[in-house]
Amino acid sequence: MSSALLLALIAAVIFLKWPLPTESTRSADVTAASTLSSASDAQAKAMFLEEQQQLTVFTQEYQQLRTAETDELQQNRQLLNHSELVIQHLAWMDSLIEPIGLDDTELTALRRQQQYLKDDWRAKQYFHELRLASLQGENTASVQVTMDQNDRMPIQPIANKGLAAPPEGVDLPEGFCTLGGDGVCKPEASN
């Protein structure tokens, strides 16, 4: 057996056996990352850590809502509302970072962590908005997104003439290369 085939087989076995991180483990890893050991204000640190615990509760509630056996439309409404609540909570947590008094390294890490969480929850929010729009389109015939004829941009077929030429009446600067038509700027060897 060739060494390349053996390496590919080993890689496949490792890939299949290695547990992929789930949504909840990624959020838990990011939340657990901040110890705030360089904090200069113990009260501000305690307040932030308390809000971090609340964020963990919100994440667990989201997971419960996600796995609940409910109507899909209602479930996505609840998940959208919950995502918006978490995004507001993260904004509140952002306002608590400065008073903690962290050193530059830990402050940068905490801000990066917070940004990751905000991006993650915004993605959830956006997904549920899209899902609701899709489900509402399925469930009610009156909900349709249409554009008025005046709102639509007319699409003109493009003639297959090669390269585009400047519109009539446009004076191009001297020496400007149009790459098409008479007198185009091409290397002397290809003229």
- How does 67-88 read in b/e, with b if 16+ C-beta sit within 10 Å? eeeeeeeebbbbbbebbbebbe
Confidence at 176, pLDDT banded by 50, 70, 90: low
Mean pLDDT of 29-52: 80
Q: How far is CA 154 from CA 145, 149, 157, 170, in A?
A: 19, 9, 10, 23
Checking if the pLDDT of 29 tops 50, the result is no
Residue 177, burial from CB neighbour count under 10 angstroms (0-12, 13-18, 19+): exposed
Other CB atoms within 10 A of residue 166 CB: 12
Map out the domains of the chain as residue ranges: 22-139
CA-wise closest residue to 102 among 50, 40, 33: 40
Of the chain, the percentage scoring pLDDT greater than 90 comes to 46
Checking if the pLDDT of 141 tops 50, the result is no
Task: State the chain's mean pLDDT as an integer.
Answer: 75
Encoded tokens for 152: 């639509």
Strands (E), 30-160: none
Checking if the pLDDT of 31 tops 50, the result is no
Confidence at 191, pLDDT banded by 50, 70, 90: very low
Checking if the pLDDT of 24 tops 90, the result is no
Tokens 């790459």 — which residue? Answer: 179
Q: What confidence score (pLDDT) does residue 37 get?
A: 87
The pLDDT tens digits for 90-140 are: 999 999 999 999 999 999 999 999 999 999 999 999 999 999 999 888 654
